[in-house]
């Protein structure tokens, strides 16, 4: 039987906190809170552990206070706002691996709103100025958050365009046509296997892009060898970021104010002769 002395941390007995019991009983060196307070103590203990984990994960370059970061479910709003302010000239946002496509919906809504404010003074009705197309093979079910953002009429809610396919290099003919539109930006928030194709296609075609890398899938990409200290397999988000940054000296980075993977890499194509913005 495992002894609780081997498995707990801090002043509390982890075994007792989790199960309400402890194999060491009264011999345990650690604190067993009264059973009637167990739930409360466990809740606080979990909260503290999450806080400690966040502090540990925080990179020194990240300027956002870990206790003030927005929850993960705010990431689409934060990323969409950041995209609109970083690429103010964009007209064609290609939202790759966007899942349900909330980022694109927010982008279109924000640009429609900006247009309608403008139209009061300039009698214009151009809605939306920016169009966003989702590229993701997943079927799109409509979440509550999407309902709040998407325009609706008696016919139901109106979603932005969706190409239900994989984004890959080289792209399909349909995606190729989409990428050739004026003032295109390719974006990917936690875009999984689409991360590197976004970067490669953007750089090769002079199309600005932004990605927030997350999962790495080292088993799918055994040929990725990390160029940083010690080298080795690209098997973490940090190494994937180094791997991507090594592709072009003009790639910039920033940190977004939400919990979890929040490091955004982007390329504005300013130094490229093929710039589409």
Ligand X SMILES: C[S@@+](CC[C@H](N)C(=O)[O-])C[C@H]1O[C@@H](n2cnc3c(N)ncnc32)[C@H](O)[C@@H]1O
Shortest Å, Cβ 103 to ligand X: 7
Considering only the stretches 10-18, 165-173, 202-210, 265-273, report the one whose residues sit in contact with ligand X under the rule CB under 6 A. 165-173
Q: Does 191 bind ligand X (CB under 6 A)?
A: yes
CB 268, CB 277: distance < 8 Å: yes
Q: DSSP state, 23?
A: T
Shortest Å, Cβ 26 to ligand X: 47
Shortest Å, Cβ 75 to ligand X: 6
Long-range contact set of residues 43-49: C-beta below 8 Å, sequence gap at least 24: 45/12, 45/17
Which residue, 8 or 261, is less far from ligand X as judged by CB?
261
Chain positions 171 to 190 lying near ligand X, rule: CB under 6 A, are 189-190
Shortest Å, Cβ 98 to ligand X: 5
154 burial level (CB within 10 Å; 0-12, 13-18, 19+): exposed
CB 128, CB 212: distance < 8 Å: no
| Helices (H) then strands (E): counts for the chain | 8, 9
Q: Does 78 bind ligand X (CB under 6 A)?
A: no
Q: Does 97 bind ligand X (CB under 6 A)?
A: yes
**From candidates 15, 24, 94, 99, binder to ligand X by CB under 6 A:** 99
Which residue, 24 or 92, is less far from ligand X as judged by CB?
92
Helix (H) or strand (E) run with residue 51 in it? helix 38-57
Q: Does 104 bind ligand X (CB under 6 A)?
A: no
């Amino acid at each position: 039987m495992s002894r609780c002395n081997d498995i707990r941390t801090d002043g509390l007995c982890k075994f007792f906190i989790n199960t309400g019991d402890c194999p060491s009983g009264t011999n345990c060196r650690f604190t067993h809170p009264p059973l009637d307070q167990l739930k409360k103590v466990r809740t606080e203990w979990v909260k503290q552990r999450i806080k400690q984990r966040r502090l540990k994960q925080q990179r020194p370059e990240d300027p956002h206070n870990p206790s003030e970061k927005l929850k993960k479910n705010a990431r689409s709003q934060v990323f969409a706002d950041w995209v609109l302010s970083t690429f103010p000239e964009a007209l064609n946002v290609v939202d790759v691996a966007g899942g349900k496509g909330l980022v694109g919906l927010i982008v279109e809504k924000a640009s429609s709103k900006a247009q309608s404010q403008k139209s009061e003074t300039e009698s214009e009705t151009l809605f939306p100025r920016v169009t966003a197309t989702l590229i993701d093979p997943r079927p799109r079910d409509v979440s509550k958050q999407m309902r709040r953002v998407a325009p609706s009429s008696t016919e139901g809610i109106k979603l932005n365009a969706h190409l239900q396919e994989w984004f890959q290099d080289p792209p399909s003919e349909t995606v190729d046509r989409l990428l050739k539109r004026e003032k295109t930006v390719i974006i990917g928030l936690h875009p999984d296997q689409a991360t590197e194709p976004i970067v490669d296609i953007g750089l090769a075609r002079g199309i600005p892009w932004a990605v927030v890398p997350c999962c790495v899938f080292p088993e799918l990409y055994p040929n990725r060898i990390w160029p940083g200290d010690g080298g080795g397999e690209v098997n973490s988000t940090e190494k994937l970021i180094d791997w991507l940054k090594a592709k072009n000296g003009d790639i910039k980075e920033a940190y977004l104010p939400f919990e979890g993977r929040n490091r955004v890499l982007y390329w504005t194509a300013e130094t490229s002769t093929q710039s589409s913005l």
